[in-house]
A and B are shown apart, each in its own frame.
Chain A
Amino acid sequence: MPARVVNPTHLSDLAGRGLVTRAGSSTAAQDRTLPLLPVFSSLVSQGAVQRGSVMACTGGAAMSLALALAAGPSQQGAWVGAIGMASLGLAAAAEAGVVLERLVSVIEPGSDHLWAEALAACIDGFDVLLLGPGTQQVRTGTARRLMARLRARGAVAITVGAPVFGGDLRFECTSATWLGLGDGHGVAQGRVAEVALTGRRVPQTRRAEFWLPSADGQVRAVGAPATAPVVPLRRTG
């Protein structure tokens, strides 16, 4: 009886195939991406992120931005694994739109070997990984191997203060201003942050302004998106 051997040329397709397979999202393009919140469509092309990519958040509003980026896939049924984020504010995560039912936190595995195994288990199990400053102990070689596995498996990583994992999409908060707080009166009502996006697949630096967070904790767009030089954006993909 001839056994059917999996053709190696199809392996990448198999590995990249989505786990959040739901009726209505069966087209190949949708399977290979995870949707972000609609507000990010001004910044990220198609408003979705390629499976297997690493999104690095830096700058003043990095944490809020990371939560907002995780919120889109989370609302579509993806599980979010927060690793090395022992002090993640759950109220802020819930306000940003992350579904707490599908949030798991792994604190401090300890040795580099355990980090590698725990992260590998997370990559296998969760569609979105939030990698925090607690992951600084991970060695460069380990991180590179893990990111290769991430690409093969088709998960997405969002990093805050964890440069060791690199970044296909780099979100940098270039300026951030809190509003609502006076000199002894008022209360913080929101922060206007300018986010610049660079990366290998982003030919030109893109910029957009967001309320990060707005008065109810969600992310919102501020006015129209602006591009750095006066070159009109070309639709890609």
Chain B
Amino acid sequence: MAEVPRLGVLWCPHWSVAVAGARADEPVVVVHANRVVAHSVAAAADGVALGQRRREAQARCPHVRIEHHDPARDARAFDQVVQAVGAMVPRVEITEPGTLTFMARGPARYFGGETAMAAKVIHAAAVAVGHSLEAVGSLGLGVADGRFAAGIAARRAAAQGMPLVVEAGSGATFLRDLPVQLLAEVAGVSSEFVHLLHRLGLHHLGALAALPATDVSARFGPLGAFAHRVAGGGDDRLPGTHDPPSGMQVQRVFEPPVLHSDALVFVGRQLADELVATLAADGRVCTRLEVVAETEHGERSERLWYRSTGLGAAAMVERVRWQLDAWAQGGDLTAGVALLRLDPVEVRSDDGVQLGLWGGRTQADDWAVRAVARLVALVGEQQVLVPAVEGGRQPHDTYAWVPAATADLADPSERLAVQAAPWPGSLPAPSPSVVHAPGQPIAVFDAAGQPVGVSGRGAVSAAPATVHLDGSAHDVAGWAGPWPVDERWWDPARARRTARFQVLTRSGRLLLVAVERGQWWLSAEYC
């Protein structure tokens, strides 16, 4: 087990809540796709838990503040922690916003032991985070053999409130009595697999590690072999992980230097596309990426990004943006950026996280989901909308626009499920291509210039002859109706009684109009 690297992991529990600026006793949750992804200590005390629906969290804790998930904001804020730790420890790698990993052997020797180093690092990090930490508990720092054991140690250290150092070679003992759920929480193994282990009576990591490796591998394939290896404190790098051959890096020199971060990210995207295509041609995927940017005055930003499932082009660009934004926000830039370089530091063979061929996720979906997150951050969540099926008889009732920030873009089946219930009285296709909600007030007159009305029994007083709309009169060339709707008559507050008409003007515009209590409305138009 000598080849397993000693790693230190610094973990901030519920980082996005800390970024949201929660006070010590304030209940705050961060919601992504309608599910709680992070919560403050005060919210947890009221029964809020990870994975709950937004409404469930609100029911448990009515005065909870709800924040939206914004990975870019989390990453920007995390940069100061990376800087603080990076000043003491070389090659700090950002595993995700809120978690960083570093090689422990060198710094431990320098600071006089792993415990002394851990105390120094966590102190520096706590100073960088500041008082917003009070809302989420305390930082955790774990030092152990391999990423998995160190990650667990960091989580336990956060609970204890002091750094935890697992002695070299004792990883298997440390992990033995821990539950197998940690495989899903820390190592990113699918939760179905963990359920299966439970059903097989394997509740602890030690029980899994005690099985013969060949049997586990035969039964569960590569995933089982990986779980077995990490459960026994072994190397948690996937087989086929290695340093890439030299010359894989891609870079661009800017002449003249570029000041605009948007333009840089755009170039970053071209570089990322190029890099991913080169790696994919060899059947490989980058798991650790170094992004370097330099200004013409020699200022330099260098960050190491990690993702266990591999960094796609979109994920690379996202990280370039995070890094450049944090750098620009730091405020010590004196010149434009003259160099941007992407360097794959660690690659492994692609184990076939295949993009969808028919159905499934595609690269386009990946880009779009990221674009939506960026748009929400730019213009606000009420301005970025996606469709959802609602059901109803009026054109604006059949579908509704819901904020994209609260919807699950990757799995739209819930929001766009076709309803089995028929809506008798709804208008047949073709549907209007422009829907006015709420409707615009208009006036409809008959040939004698009298307002057209509809009686309680659904009889029209006279054929409509002119429609007054947008301040001008339009002659009617054809019309049909009335099609009455009497909705929710049992509920006085929401009851609606309207009669709808299609009206074709002489200029060729087809309108859907409705009369309700003597007032005419333009509800939709067939443009």
User: Which residues of A are in contact with B by a Cβ distance under 8 Å?
Assistant: 1-6, 11, 14-15, 17, 19-23, 60-64, 67, 77-79, 81, 87-96, 100-110, 114, 117-118, 120-122, 124-127, 149, 152, 176-178, 181-191, 213-217
| Interface hits, B473-519 → A, CB 8 Å | 478-481, 502, 504, 508-510
1/0 contact trace for B387-431 toward A, CB 8 Å? 100000001001101001000000010001000000000011111
Known: A114-B379, A183-B479. A107 touches B385 (CB 8 A): yes
Interface: B250 (CB within 8 A) = yes
List A contacts of B364 (CB < 8 A): 19-20, 77-79, 127
| Interface hits, B366-398 → A, CB 8 Å | 367-368, 370-372, 374-375, 378-379, 383-387, 395, 398
Interface: B262 (CB within 8 A) = yes
List B contacts of A63 (CB < 8 A): 433-434, 527
Of chain B, the residue at the smallest CB distance from A160 is B527
Q: Are B480 and A118 in contact, with the CB atoms below 8 A? A: no
Quick one: which of A14, A105, A190 contacts B274, CB cutoff 8 A? A14
Interface: B107 (CB within 8 A) = no
Q: Are B431 and A92 in contact, with the CB atoms below 8 A? A: yes
List B contacts of A214 (CB < 8 A): 430
Interface: B463 (CB within 8 A) = yes
List B contacts of A216 (CB < 8 A): 429-430
Q: Are B368 and A3 in contact, with the CB atoms below 8 A? A: no
Quick one: which of B251, B372, B510 contacts A104, CB cutoff 8 A? B372
Q: Are A1 and B502 in contact, with the CB atoms below 8 A? A: no
- Tell me how far the C-beta of A141 lies from the nearest C-beta in chain B, rounded to whole angstroms: 15
Given contacts A3-B341, A100-B399, list 10 more A-B pairs with CB under 8 A.
A3-B249, A6-B271, A20-B364, A100-B416, A107-B385, A121-B374, A188-B502, A191-B510, A213-B429, A216-B430
List B contacts of A19 (CB < 8 A): 363-364, 367
Q: Specify which of A19, A60, A63, A216 lies most central, judged by the most chain B CB atoms within 10 Å of its CB.
A: A19
Q: Are A6 and B430 in contact, with the CB atoms below 8 A? A: no
Known: A19-B363, A89-B432, A102-B368. A181 touches B384 (CB 8 A): no
Q: Are B526 and A106 in contact, with the CB atoms below 8 A? A: no
List A contacts of B481 (CB < 8 A): 184
Rounded to whole angstroms, the CA-CA distance of A183 and B509 in the bound complex is 15
Interface: B246 (CB within 8 A) = yes
Rounded to whole angstroms, the CA-CA distance of A87 and B436 in the bound complex is 6
List A contacts of B433 (CB < 8 A): 63-64, 67, 88-89, 92-93, 96
Q: Are A188 and B368 in contact, with the CB atoms below 8 A? A: no
Q: Are A177 and B508 in contact, with the CB atoms below 8 A? A: yes
A-B contact pairs, 11 of them (CB 8 A): A4-B249, A19-B363, A22-B357, A60-B509, A64-B527, A77-B362, A94-B399, A105-B387, A107-B385, A122-B375, A217-B429
Interface: B461 (CB within 8 A) = no
List A contacts of B429 (CB < 8 A): 91, 95, 213, 215-217
Of chain A, the residue at the smallest CB distance from B509 is A60
Interface: B176 (CB within 8 A) = no
Q: Are B508 and A117 in contact, with the CB atoms below 8 A? A: no
Interface: B469 (CB within 8 A) = no
Q: Are A109 and B378 in contact, with the CB atoms below 8 A? A: yes
Q: Are B412 and A101 in contact, with the CB atoms below 8 A? A: yes
Known: A11-B270, A20-B364. A182 touches B478 (CB 8 A): yes
Q: Are B365 and A79 in contact, with the CB atoms below 8 A? A: yes
Q: Are B372 and A125 in contact, with the CB atoms below 8 A? A: yes
List B contacts of A109 (CB < 8 A): 378-379, 383
Q: Are A79 and B249 in contact, with the CB atoms below 8 A? A: no
Q: Are B252 and A5 in contact, with the CB atoms below 8 A? A: yes
List B contacts of A91 (CB < 8 A): 395, 398-399, 429, 431-432
Interface: B296 (CB within 8 A) = no
Rounded to whole angstroms, the CA-CA distance of A108 and B101 in the bound complex is 42
- Tell me how far the C-beta of A107 lies from the nearest C-beta in chain B, rounded to whole angstroms: 5
Q: Are A181 and B527 in contact, with the CB atoms below 8 A? A: no
Known: A3-B251, A92-B430. A106 touches B504 (CB 8 A): no
| Interface hits, B430-469 → A, CB 8 Å | 430-437, 460, 463
Quick one: which of B249, B269, B371, B479 contacts A126, CB cutoff 8 A? B371
Interface: B247 (CB within 8 A) = yes
Q: Are A90 and B371 in contact, with the CB atoms below 8 A? A: no
Interface: B45 (CB within 8 A) = no
List A contacts of B437 (CB < 8 A): 87
List B contacts of A213 (CB < 8 A): 429-430
List A contacts of B463 (CB < 8 A): 183-184
Quick one: which of A81, A89, A106 contacts B435, CB cutoff 8 A? A89
Known: A20-B362, A89-B524. A124 touches B367 (CB 8 A): yes
Q: Are B401 and A105 in contact, with the CB atoms below 8 A? A: yes
Q: Are A188 and B526 in contact, with the CB atoms below 8 A? A: yes
List A contacts of B119 (CB < 8 A): none
